[in-house]
A and B are shown apart, each in its own frame.
Chain A
Amino acid sequence: MKHSKRRRLDFLFQGVITITSMIGLFLLIAIFAYVFKQGSGLLSWDLLTSDYYATTYDTYYSDQLGDEVFEKPSHLDESVYFSSKWGIGFSTALDNEGKSYMLIAYIDSNSPLRILPDKNNEGEVVEITENQALLKVIFTNYTIIMSSEGPENAANLFDAADGIIDMITTTSGKGIRGSIITTLYLIILTLIIALPIGVLSAIYLREFAPKKSKIVEILRRLIEMLTGVPSIIFGLLGAAVFIPFTSTFTAADGGNLISGALTLAVIVLPVIITSTDEALKVIPDDFRQASLALGATKTQTTFKVVLKSAIPGILSAVLLSVGRIIGESAALIYAIGTAIKDQIILTERSTSLAVHIWSIMAGETPNFELASAISIIILAVVLVLNLIVKFIANKLSYESRTS
């Protein structure tokens, strides 16, 4: 009797534990499902390579308009309003931030608007293409098209006009090219700063430090303490130390990529030191003894024999650091700022991909689609890096078992 009750209880426990342990899996899948559902529609080559800020074109039309009457192509539906006089069609579209704008949905290949003179650069031309947005037109009869008044009005006003004093169109913008470049810069700069410091510190602590020295023990503790510091506190360090530091020694004036990279370097330092240290730790002492016995100095031994065997460990440190840099947001908000840029200059502000998300979510209307599209990129990179690190670690432990 008692026995069966206990078995039932056991079964219950087993069930509860099994179900609870699915939660982690469920969460990971849910996160992926959500960002893919929201962001995959936006994810395109265009998103990765185009500027965040739209390019504005300013043109006019002063020639005599021909008598040609353009036909509205049959593939265009009713949402496109067509001007048969100018051979151009407009519709309402939503931009990446969910705001409506007037889209040039169609332009006939013979339309007089196809190639227009650049109003402000004599001799140059502007090509009006589909997918540009129409902002404003002032016609020679002094009627004005404003994009906020809708495509139907625009088509009607075009049909009534014979010449254009001023016409403003823009490209769509909202691309993330600038933030990708910033992220790459940050990765390179951070590693240049942190890798030598981290690897050399690890070498000192593992190979050169006098054993049982109190001071070394304190140094080790202080470095360990870095891992427990929240990233926003590193951000404060960046704002309080590295921004003034870079402002003094470079052309920078306020947050900049170098102060950001210095901050990130401090963040990844413990990662690099620990990972290198782990790698040095597993190298058998025989290696060192053999090299020393051959008459090499400890310095030679360390840099030629030991370090070589530690390369996979250092490689995982690099990969883990890259993952950390790509995902970091709170620290960079303080150490660089949140201004999205297209022209990336080392001594000025710009955003990494993660801060780009913060910028568009915290600023005006939260833009889930764009945020999710960038999240997909970040997640993909970070997860692949982690899997590679795991693979390296497995391989190493396999090798050390077999050797």
Chain B
Amino acid sequence: MTKIEFNKDTKFSMKHNKKTDRIMQNILLIPTVLSASFVLMILIFISQRGVAPFLPSEYGNESVNFLRFITGVTWYQPPNSYGIFFIVVNTVFVVALSSLIAVPISVFTALYIAKMTPKPISKFFQTIIELLASVPSIVFGVFGLGVITKVVLWIASIFGLQTAGGISTLATVFVLAMMILPTITLLSITAINSVNLDLEKNSLALGASKMQTYFKVTLVSAKSGIFAGIILGIGRALGEATAVSMVAGNAGSGPSFDLFSTTRTLTSTMLLGLKETTGLDYDIRFSVGMVLILLIILTNLGLNYLKKKVGRFS
């Protein structure tokens, strides 16, 4: 409203001028602070709900035993005992395996796109990877349940093993690997592209083959950027919910390292059997959410520490 006034008045003083800008600056601070506050809101409100099950007299019955919650190897024992330790172990196991599959594929794909192919093909492949990155989780879930579980069933039958309809640790690993592949690939491409071309040229001039150069010079120099991609990918894998819930099964106890048996991750625990919207069985999922947030933060810190160490070596 004040703006219109200024438009009419062309001869305002410089001081007046500064004043509107300062007002505007303060007005604009409001949405910015609001945007920034959501992370804090997540931490505060989820913790508030997540802690409630462990506090006395919140649900009429006895409160959930916190020690048993963090060490438990059975998800639910009536009437009010929950255990999450094996779920954390399973989650880490599944995510670790899926990154073991996804990382080499992603790095090779990135190398291929960035270095080994002429522009039109590389552009085409990059677009494909970008599109894969935009496929929603629920579609991966439908694909996972419809195709990946059948593939797992087929693999199991080759080895003469049993699996509950293909719904298994392995299916979860495959689906997660598919989902983090584009994330890691895209960041690796950026990292590889930002490697100084002179380094490669020098290496080639010294008589190294192209492949030697790629592996010993390019990838080594892009190491830190690729690692950043891996960290992002692992973060995504830890928090991925819908697709995982559809292929993980709902194992009641564990931990299980059998690739062909059902498993249970933190996120699948939060989504499966979600029928109530009140009461202990609902609120305990906020506690699981807290553990998930904690796990993601710890993983991030750990991997970043590792990244710094690896970076120092070169």
Q: Per the CB under 8 Å rule, do A and B touch in the complex?
A: yes
Give the one of A25, A204, A362, A383 with max B CB within 10 A: A204
- Does A236 have its Cβ within 8 Å of any Cβ on chain B? yes
A248 to B180, CA, bound (A): 39
Which A196-241 residues have C-beta < 8 A from chain B?
Answer: 196-198, 200-201, 203-205, 208-209, 218-220, 222-223, 225-226, 228-234, 236-237, 239-241
A306 to B292, CA, bound (A): 41
Give the Cβ gap from B240 to chain A, nearest Cβ, in Å: 7
Our pick among B36, B49, B235, B292 for the contact of A240 (Cβ within 8 Å) is B49
Contact A27 B132 (CB under 8 A): yes
- Does B166 have its Cβ within 8 Å of any Cβ on chain A? no
- Does A153 have its Cβ within 8 Å of any Cβ on chain B? no
Given the known inter-chain contacts A18-B112, A204-B29, please indicate yes or no for A233 contacting B211, CB distance below 8 A: no
- Does A23 have its Cβ within 8 Å of any Cβ on chain B? yes
Give the Cβ gap from A191 to chain B, nearest Cβ, in Å: 15
- Does B158 have its Cβ within 8 Å of any Cβ on chain A? no
A67 to B27, CA, bound (A): 83
Contact A240 B48 (CB under 8 A): yes
Stretch at the interface among B39-47, B82-90, B252-260: B39-47
Contact A229 B211 (CB under 8 A): no
What residues of A have a CB within 8 angstroms of the CB of B39 in the complex? Answer: 222-223, 225-226, 229
Total interface residues on B, CB under 8 Å, equals: 87
Contact with A along B259-294 (1 / 0, CB 8 A): 000000001001110100100000001100100110
Contact B146 A372 (CB under 8 A): yes
Contact with B along A2-22 (1 / 0, CB 8 A): 000011011001101110110
- Does B142 have its Cβ within 8 Å of any Cβ on chain A? yes
Q: Which A residues are closer than 8 A to B by beta carbons?
A: 6-7, 9-10, 13-14, 16-18, 20-21, 23-25, 27-28, 30-31, 34-35, 38, 196-198, 200-201, 203-205, 208-209, 218-220, 222-223, 225-226, 228-234, 236-237, 239-241, 254-255, 266, 269, 273, 295, 297-300, 302-303, 323, 326-330, 333-334, 337-338, 354, 357-358, 361-362, 366, 368, 371-372, 375, 378-379, 382-383, 386-387, 390
Q: Which B residues are closer than 8 A to A by beta carbons?
A: 3, 6-7, 10, 17, 20-21, 24-25, 28-29, 31-42, 45-46, 48-49, 104-105, 108-109, 111-113, 116, 125, 127-132, 134-143, 145-147, 178, 181-182, 185, 209-212, 215, 232, 235-236, 238-242, 245-246, 267, 270-272, 274, 277, 285-286, 289, 292-293, 296, 300
